[in-house]
Structure 1
Amino acid sequence: MLKFLICSFALVLLYPTAIDLYLVGLPQISADLSATESQLHIAFSIYLAGMATTMLLAGKLSDSLGRKPMAIAGATIFVGASLMGGAAEQVSTFLAARFAQGIGAGSCYVVAFAILRDTLDDKRRAKVLSMINGITCIVPVIAPVVGHLIMLKFPWQSLFTTMAGMGVLVCLLSLLLLKETKATGEISKSISGSGPQSHHERFLSRFFVSRVIIASLSCTVILTYVNVSPMLMMGTLKLDRGGYSSVMAMTALVSMITSFSAPLALTFFRERTLIITSQSLFAIAAATLVLVSRYDVNTVGYFISFGLICAAFSIGFGVTMSQALSPYSQRAGVASSILGVSQVCTSAFYIWLMGIIGVSALYALIAILALTSIVCLALISWIPKPTSSPQYEESHYST
């Protein structure tokens, strides 16, 4: 079991590392490639686009060919794309490399969740997913520091060499340590579509759709917070870069503590209680932001709301993902890819829409907090987790 957990953690970590590690090198990348600031900002969206366009195919292939081949393929693509990014001499080549990195990272991300669905029961899976969320919260804090230390001695290309090294490590773990979690018989049945439960595992069930919505909106909240945080802290609150980094480090610490506490909380509280708590904290964070902005309260109120956002996401995300994957034994790869694509696309669309219509950073954050808490609390109340058999679940929850 430990081998599966190590491999799953490693597969997931490629995704945030490729986002955060190269950021400290952006000024040098811009100068060397004669790229504008807007072109390099597009690199973030292109990376997410690579993930989104690949996840469904990767999920389907992991169900038909197996988890291990897709993990190795995803890591190999990530290695090649990282080397390509480090060798880029034109901005078009750099952007193509970022897209390919998204393909590799997205494939590994999908496989990781499918492996956890294969190997863990509902309760243990919820605990492990919460721990994975805690570890991924460490990356945005550690990666820029590591990147800065690397660039004290080496050029920006070394950042992508480091990413390639991580990809090689993940590839070796997948090749040497990871055992196939989808049995050979299940793989053949998945290819033929004749598995004993495959006709029950449909994706238009009310329960699955509701958990996809909850997970996607929650992910949109945290990515909106990350996206608008520089404008709020360095613009509205007038913090310098050091102050901004300190606040982000503290909120990341809140995320880590909450994520690692969630498995313990699951031994005392029901999953439903944690999800409701998560969405309630989003609502409290929205109300706090409205009050501190309206009545010009000191900056402590903002920091409290930022901490509430990170804690709320960490409490509920792992449980929600675990519930969403729970009904799928034959099609866990496709289920995890649907979740991933929905999260990426929903977040990207909302952030893009707020920018297009000119909503301020503060009100974009308040709006998604309020929308998420209202919609998700309603879905949790109307569509609870079923406790009946798969056959009943399908007939009762299908649309």
Structure 2
Amino acid sequence: MFRYLLCSFALVLLYPTAIDLYLVGLPKIAQDLGASESHLHIAFSIYLAGMATTMLFAGRFADVIGRKPVAIFGATIFVIASIVCGSADNTETFLIARFAQGIGAGSCYVVAFAILRDTLDDQRRAKVLSMLNGITCIIPVIAPVIGHLIMLRFPWPSLFNTMAGIGVLVCALAIFILKETKPNKTPKQQFDINTSLTATKSANVEVFLERYFISRLIITALGVTTILTYVNVSPMLLMGMMDFDRGEYSTVMALTALVSMLSSFLAPLALSWIKQGTLMIISQCILLTAALILASSYYGFENDTLYLMGFALVCSGFAIGFGVAMSQALSPFSQRAGVASSLLGIAQVFSSGLYIWLMGLLGVSALNMLLIILLLGSLISLTLILLLGSPIHRGSNEEIVSTT
């Protein structure tokens, strides 16, 4: 079992590493490539676009040819793209390589969740996904520090060479450590990859257009949209509205990341005492409380402590409930876990980008942007959790890989 956890964690970590490690080098990258720093910020959106466009295909291939080949392919593409980024001498090449990095990271991201679905039962998967979320929260804190240390002695291409090295390590794990986990399909469980998702109502065929899966997809998408909105508007809130300097801003972000990490590690312990649905309700109540505290601070009591408390609750509420919601979303799918992971990832990336873009287009202020998604997201999620509390299992089609 340890091999599956190790490989899944490594596959997931490519995604945040490629976002956070190079940010410290943006000014120097812009200077060397003859572009403005603001122009190169589009590299973030390009990277997410690469992830989104490949997720559905990666999930389908993972369900057809297996998890291991897709993991090796994704890690290999990530390595090549990282090397090209580091050797780029113009903006166009750099952005194309960033898109390719997203393809590689997106393939690995989808496979990681499919592996966990294949190898863990519902309860253990919820605990592991919560821990995985906590480890992921460490990357935004550690990666910029590592990037800064690298650039003290080496030029900015070394940042991408480091990413390539990480990709090589992940590829080696996929080749030599990871064993194939894709379940063998019985004749009744075979399905045509080109068949519409709604083409069959057979109890033995896993379909996605059902209420339980859609509810969890919406909950996870709203959760990711909430946390990415907070990350996106945090500079404006902390350095603009609250007049923090860069050092204070970095300290607050590090502390909120620590809150996320601790909450994620406490969630598995909580699951030993309370039910998954109860923990999800608690997480949404925390997010709703965060919205009320931030609103009262902005519209009533102007208090920095209340703001910081609200930000901490945003991170804590997301960290407590996200792993459980992801586990429940994957629970009904044993034969199509790859596609299920893809749909979840696409929904999360698309909803986040669309919401942030739309709010910016409408000229909504940074705090109101966060308040809107906190209020709507928590209320919608609470409603879905209360209405659709348990999955509908289709017989005994869940296969668990034996621990070795």
Give the TM-score band, short-chain normalised.
over 0.9
Q: Name the structure 1 match of 2:198.
A: none
Q: Name the structure 1 match of 2:266.
A: 261
- Which range moved further: 290-299 or 110-119? 290-299
2:233 matched to 1:228? yes
User: How do residues 164-243 of structure 1 correspond to structure 2 at under 5 angstroms?
Assistant: 164-183=164-183, 199-243=204-248
Q: Name the structure 1 match of 2:401.
A: none
2:77 matched to 1:77? yes
Cα 1:187/1:174, change in 2 over 3 Å:
farther
> Could you tell me how far apart the structure 1 residues matched to 2:8 and 2:170 are?
10
- Cα offset for 1:229? 0.4
Contact kept in structure 2, 1:62 and 1:111, CA below 8 Å: yes
Q: Deviation digits for residues 303-354 of structure 1, max 9, x if unmatched?
A: 1001000100011000000000000000000000000000000000001111
Q: Name the structure 2 match of 1:56.
A: 56
> Could you tell me how far apart the structure 2 residues matched to 1:259 and 1:190 are?
37
2:327 matched to 1:322? yes
User: How do residues 6-155 of structure 1 correspond to structure 2 at under 5 angstroms?
Assistant: 6-155=6-155
2:132 maps to a residue whose letter is I
1:351 maps to a residue whose letter is I
- Cα offset for 1:191? 7.0
2:315 matched to 1:310? yes
Contact kept in structure 2, 1:259 and 1:314, CA below 8 Å: yes
- Cα offset for 1:184? 5.0
> Could you tell me how far apart the structure 2 residues matched to 1:247 and 1:392 are?
47
2:380 matched to 1:375? yes
> Could you tell me how far apart the structure 2 residues matched to 1:188 and 1:175 are?
31
Contact kept in structure 1, 2:183 and 2:335, CA below 8 Å: no
Contact kept in structure 2, 1:225 and 1:365, CA below 8 Å: yes
> Could you tell me how far apart the structure 2 residues matched to 1:178 and 1:277 are?
36
2:9 matched to 1:5? no
Contact kept in structure 1, 2:332 and 2:393, CA below 8 Å: no
Q: Deviation digits for residues 73-105 of structure 1, max 9, x if unmatched?
A: 000000001001001111011100110000000
Match of 1:357 among 362, 373, 382: 362
Q: Name the structure 1 match of 2:255.
A: 250
More helix by share: 1
> Could you tell me how far apart the structure 1 residues matched to 2:189 and 2:288 are?
45
Cα 1:187/1:260, change in 2 over 3 Å:
farther
1:220 maps to a residue whose letter is T
- Cα offset for 1:298? 2.0
2:394 maps to a residue whose letter is P
- Cα offset for 1:38? 2.9
Cα 1:69/1:243, change in 2 over 3 Å:
same
> Could you tell me how far apart the structure 2 residues matched to 1:183 and 1:295 are?
56
Contact kept in structure 2, 1:63 and 1:190, CA below 8 Å: no
> Could you tell me how far apart the structure 1 residues matched to 2:358 and 2:346 are?
18
Q: Deviation digits for residues 165-187 of structure 1, max 9, x if unmatched?
A: 00000000000000001145579
Contact kept in structure 2, 1:252 and 1:310, CA below 8 Å: yes
> Could you tell me how far apart the structure 1 residues matched to 2:286 and 2:168 are?
40
- Which range moved further: 30-39 or 160-169? 30-39
Which structure 1 segments of 5+ residues have no match?
394-399
Match of 1:345 among 342, 350, 353: 350
2:157 matched to 1:157? yes
1:327 maps to a residue whose letter is P
3-state SS of paired residue (1:390):
coil
- Cα offset for 1:198? 8.2
Aligned residues: 391
Q: Deviation digits for residues 102-140 of structure 1, max 9, x if unmatched?
A: 000000000000000000000000000000000000000
Work out the percentage of aligned pairs sharing the same amino acid.
63
2:232 maps to a residue whose letter is N
TM-score (norm 1): 0.95
> Could you tell me how far apart the structure 1 residues matched to 2:185 and 2:236 are?
53
Q: Name the structure 2 match of 1:390.
A: 394
Cα 1:186/1:250, change in 2 over 3 Å:
farther
> Could you tell me how far apart the structure 2 residues matched to 1:39 and 1:339 are?
29
3-state SS of paired residue (2:41):
helix
> Could you tell me how far apart the structure 2 residues matched to 1:295 and 1:262 are?
33
> Could you tell me how far apart the structure 1 residues matched to 2:352 and 2:203 are?
30
- Cα offset for 1:384? 1.5
Q: Deviation digits for residues 246-271 of structure 1, max 9, x if unmatched?
A: 00111011011110011000000000
3-state SS of paired residue (1:170):
helix
Root mean square deviation of aligned Cα: 2.0
- Cα offset for 1:390? 1.2
TM-score (norm 2): 0.94
- Cα offset for 1:385? 1.3
- Cα offset for 1:294? 1.3
Cα 1:34/1:389, change in 2 over 3 Å:
closer
Q: Deviation digits for residues 141-199 of structure 1, max 9, x if unmatched?
A: 000000000000000100000000000000000000000011455799657569xx885
Contact kept in structure 2, 1:328 and 1:335, CA below 8 Å: yes
**Which 4+ residue blocks in structure 1 deviate beyond 3 angstroms?**
183-194
